[in-house]
Chains A and B, each alone.
Chain A
Amino acid sequence: MTAVDVTEHESWFHRNQQRIAPWLFLAPGVLFFMVYVIIPVFQSFNLSLYEWDGLGAAEYVGMRNYEDLYWEWVDRDAFYVSLKNNLIWLVMYLLAIPAGLFIALFLNQTVWGIRLYKSLFFFPFVISQVVVGLVFTWFYDPTFGLLNEFLSWFGLGPVNVLGDERFVTYGIIFAGLWPQTAYCMILYLTGLNAVDPEQIEAGRLDGAKGGRMLWHIILPQLRPATFIAFVVTIIGALRSFDLISIMTQGGPFGSSRVLAYYMFEVALSEYGFRMGYGAAIAVVLFLIMLCFIAYFLWSMYREEKGH
């Protein structure tokens, strides 16, 4: 290579570098993300049209996996129970938002030691869901659990929360609400910190206090915090897997399954390697999630255009 070539090359790059540079910066990240996230989504869509045990040849079956799900021909009372539980998770999990707001309001003071209190209240969020699951499994234990110890003070009989089809899903959700509430609390504490004091003063002069002040003056200013709390709580609810896997493994009799867990059970656990069928369940879950993702992106898009 001659010296002339090098300078020419350099000057071409130099002239165009503002156009090329972003692509060079993006390349490794986008490549990784494509290979491990974006392409697999489409592969799963494709796979849901096949019957495959993960080893042999895959057989094209068209929409049969979806028909099996719809009519529950393969697993009785699995798909709709999971779907229903997903819905319960979605609704109940949202309680983390008002609960987090409540605790944030309770802790938004400046007394001695309050910083440590805030940290300790936040602490459950940092612990892994596996440990949260174990902690609450013991909490609910019918022979020595703290819950039944507590109930017995009031003369109430032992309740086997995780062994009872009526309570099990709520019991797991309650465990999940513990870290999630902590997360919402920290979002609101940060939000409350930034509330405009002049508006509060103006509100006080107008005679607003307590609930009315909260509703008309504080909450509108907490909107960004509420939006994030909403996003992470919805995503968290639909991702619920760890707690179910640790606490009940979907039981008793599959009554605490959600789609995420059911899919795993079908595709990878001892119940067999039905990859195509599992992919179909994943697609259903993905489509539910997609409604929310679309809404989040739309909100972000409006925000971007607003700037």
Chain B
Amino acid sequence: MFPKPIEKQPRAAQISYQALLPVALLLWLGPLLAVALFSIKPEADFTNANYWGLPSSFEGARNYGQVFFNSDMPRYLLNSFLITVPTVIGAVALSCMTGFALGIYKFKSNLWIFFMFVAGNFVPFQILMVPVRDLTLDLGLYNTKTGLVLFHIAFQTGFCTLFMRNFIRALPFELIEAARVEGISEWRIFWCVVLPLMKPAIAALSVLIFTFIWNDYFWAVVLTQGAESQPVTAGITSFNAQFRAAYHLMSAGSIVAALPPVAMFFLMQKHFIAGLTLGAVK
């Protein structure tokens, strides 16, 4: 293990390491903790310039209550879910198939199609912006969740294909050959042999895509406008305009907007990290 395990160091080093950890964490999360502190303060603290002292009263319930019952926030959160979940399902389903095709079969253009997905996944969003917006307008899907979902599925298929294909490559190929000898059809090989083995990849990818899509801001701004279809990342700007200078509410709103992917991360940590670091180890 590198660096040298701290248990093998002198006692003083061990104690200072243990003491340093929380301090470093506090510094690292400082800006975020500040916002969390703001979100439980009463409004009076801001007018009295009591920014960093203890809250003069605990108003967490009241502030968060305002966010949930007195603003468009629940609407935005619901929209985010209705955009994120179908995207995850669609992108994972499509990429299971493309990943299977590119990972299992040997044909001439295989690598080129794979590279098309990889390269497409890296392009700057701006070069897609005007044509995709026009296409969405032409389909009558501008300012709808469907329009956003369709684009997200298509774009995420690039990254998901990269992921799935590399995962399938690492599976034992003999399994598929054995199935073929048995005379099992290709579709059944996909459905009954390979798909069950892909469960960890599907789990990892689902968590990742959930976070990516939940946190998307650019496409939300380009393809949607009002509270009826905007996800929470875009909604938070309207929310902040509504509560301008009400820092206690803006803080509470930001925390609420950030929470679902955070919850997802802590619940599915193993899968999340496995997904993010695929390829980081040989």
Contact = CB atoms under 8 A, between A and B. Distances in A.
Interface of A: 14, 17-19, 21-23, 25-26, 28-30, 32-33, 35-41, 43-44, 47, 54, 105-106, 108-111, 114, 117, 119-124, 126-131, 134-136, 138-139, 144, 146, 149, 178, 183, 186-187, 190-195, 197, 200, 209, 213-214, 217-218, 224-225, 228, 235, 238-239, 241-242, 245-246, 259-260, 263-264, 267-268, 275, 278-279, 281-283, 285-286, 289, 292-293, 296-297, 300-301, 304
B111 interface: yes
Nearest to A42: B131
B153 A281 contact: no
A139 B128 contact: no
26 contacts: A17-B185, A25-B98, A25-B100, A26-B97, A29-B97, A29-B98, A41-B120, A41-B127, A44-B128, A117-B21, A121-B28, A126-B211, A127-B262, A128-B233, A128-B257, A131-B258, A146-B34, A183-B276, A187-B276, A194-B282, A225-B280, A246-B217, A278-B126, A281-B126, A297-B115, A300-B115
Nearest to B46: A144
Contacts of A47: 130-131
Interface stretch (B1-9, B66-74, B197-205): B1-9
Given A235-B122, A263-B129, A224 B279 contact: yes
Nearest to A115: B269
B5 A29 contact: no
A138 B124 contact: no
Contacts of B133: 268
Contacts of A117: 21, 25
Contacts of B34: 135, 138-139, 146
Contact of A29 (B124, B127, B157): B157
A268 B247 CA distance: 29
Nearest to A276: B130
A268 B122 contact: no
Interface residues on B, range: 35 or more
Contacts of A106: 24
A162 B282 CA distance: 42
B49 A36 contact: no
A108 B3 CA distance: 7
Contact of B31 (A41, A139, A275): A139
A130 B217 contact: yes
Interface in B241-257: 247, 250-251, 254, 257
B103 to A, nearest CB: 10
Given A183-B276, A282-B127, A190 B281 contact: yes
B185 A136 contact: no
Contact of B277 (A38, A126, A187, A241): A187
B179 interface: no
Interface of chain B, helix or strand or loop or mixed?
A: helix
B215 A130 contact: yes
Contacts of A225: 277, 280-281
Nearest to A210: B3
A157 B98 CA distance: 58
Nearest to A203: B2
A276 to B, nearest CB: 9
Contact of A32 (B32, B94, B221, B237): B94
Nearest to B38: A138
A130 B97 contact: no
Nearest to B272: A126
B35 interface: yes
Contacts of B116: 33, 38
Contacts of B254: 131, 134-135
Contacts of B262: 123, 126-127
B237 A246 contact: yes
Contacts of B265: 119, 122-123, 126
Given A124-B28, A138-B38, 17 more contacts: A14-B185, A37-B123, A37-B154, A40-B127, A110-B1, A119-B269, A134-B236, A144-B49, A186-B273, A187-B277, A235-B122, A241-B217, A245-B217, A264-B129, A281-B126, A282-B124, A289-B122
A218 B1 CA distance: 10
Contacts of B21: 111, 114, 117
A32 B1 CA distance: 46
Given A110-B5, A200-B1, A130 B257 contact: yes
B125 interface: yes
A165 B108 CA distance: 53
Nearest to A195: B2
Interface string B203-233: 0000000010011011001100000000001
A36 B125 CA distance: 11
A128 B261 contact: yes
Contacts of A18: 105, 180, 186
